[in-house]
Structure 1
């Protein structure tokens, strides 16, 4: 399988190996450094997630405009929806540049956001944290469907293939699925709650690889 990977894919996976390797090392030798330096807010790991999510979004937007005249409305809707989702994810990751530009949160966010920041994923409704409900539980369910079930259905049923291609849904190669599973397993070796910052970085990197070269790469051709 390694020989079938592109140079970019190999470099991306090597990058994740280093990130997780250092993360596991710091988490087990200097937890304070792991929490306050390695995975700190707006640090290398979190900023990396935002950057890769943004690149994915821009890649999809470019394809949307480049192929606009050659594709139907279903394809346009699918790829535009994905582009907007990943743009939203990039913005949320850095609280829409709030800390970068020193913008103070409004009174509403100060009262209803767990971190007092201008973003939605840290909002608290009653006793429920939106991050835990939607961005953890719901997203986990979606990833299981997308990474483990959809690839089987796509390969076995023509109607699933036609539907995915129609809405420009990129289908993963098995190495994408395997890399996600490995990253998930590696979290066992990190006790800190900040480990999810590394997982989000892995998410952003692997999804960029999926968008660059999905199994059904023909959806990105005219």
Structure 2
């Protein structure tokens, strides 16, 4: 009983710490913009620090999830789990590439005419392709939909026991609730902070998303069982929450 109580308290502390960290980071950006909008805009432009860090975070998250899956034999032994993990790895890798237009400017690559004809910004990427933007709302709407589902909805649903059982059977990796505010807060930042240049708020939103996924991947990489730890549990009466506990790292 004492062990369960300690675990529960550790869970609450971890959840508060993770989400307060997200709020603090987003508040920092909001204060930065209010104090020095010019400096804020400069660092949010293409190929500057915010965008570069976002791309790196997405890439590291992709690699981290792959490493975590490799270190966890039960994932490799289950085809459905492998599919879920590969989807995560691929999606995050694509996000990283799209963020920097696949290093087109860094490598000095010319945009092929066939791509330039259909891309609104004459870049080598998918999210600025005209029909993608017209019919699917571009990368921001779909990124937000994916993020709000994977980073907010699924973690919260995973706290409900019957739904948790479904996740358990499917072997679905779920972002810990400790990091929900990186996703929800990032989305709200773009809605609440009205920057002079619209894209600046979008860059901060993506930065928060990428950092949230990186923390999820880091957790899973450091603790081999953590990505599927809750999914391995067979005791639905255990008070231990379904997601990874920050206290497990210490």
Q: TM-score range by the shorter chain?
A: 0.7 to 0.9
Structure 1 residue 55 corresponds to structure 2 residue 64? no
The more displaced of 74-83 and 205-214 is: 205-214
Structure 1 residue 71 corresponds to structure 2 residue 77? yes
The more displaced of 73-82 and 59-68 is: 59-68
Q: Identify the residue that residue 107 of structure 1 maps to in structure 2.
A: 113
TM-score, scaled to structure 2: 0.70
TM-score, scaled to structure 1: 0.78
- Of the three residues 206, 225, 228, the one matched with 1:219 is 228
Q: Which runs of 5+ in 2 are unaligned?
A: 1-10, 233-250
Which 4+ residue blocks in structure 1 deviate beyond 4 angstroms? 5-17
Structure-to-structure mapping, 1:1-222, within 5 angstroms? 3-4=13-14, 15-27=25-37, 30=38, 33-35=39-41, 37-68=42-73, 71-125=77-131, 129=133, 133-158=137-162, 160-165=163-168, 166-173=170-177, 175-187=178-190, 188-191=192-195, 192-194=197-199, 195-213=201-219, 217=226, 219=228
The more displaced of 95-104 and 182-191 is: 182-191
How many residue pairs get matched? Answer: 212
**In 1: Cα distance, 2:214 partner to 2:108 partner:** 29
- In the alignment, is the contact (CA less than 8 A) between 2:152 and 2:184 conserved in 1? no
For residue 163 of structure 1, report the CA deviation from its aligned partner.
3.8
Q: Which runs of 5+ in 1 are unaligned?
A: none
User: Higher Cα Rg: structure 1 or 2?
Assistant: 2
For residue 13 of structure 1, report the CA deviation from its aligned partner.
6.3
**In 2: Cα distance, 1:6 partner to 1:185 partner:** 19
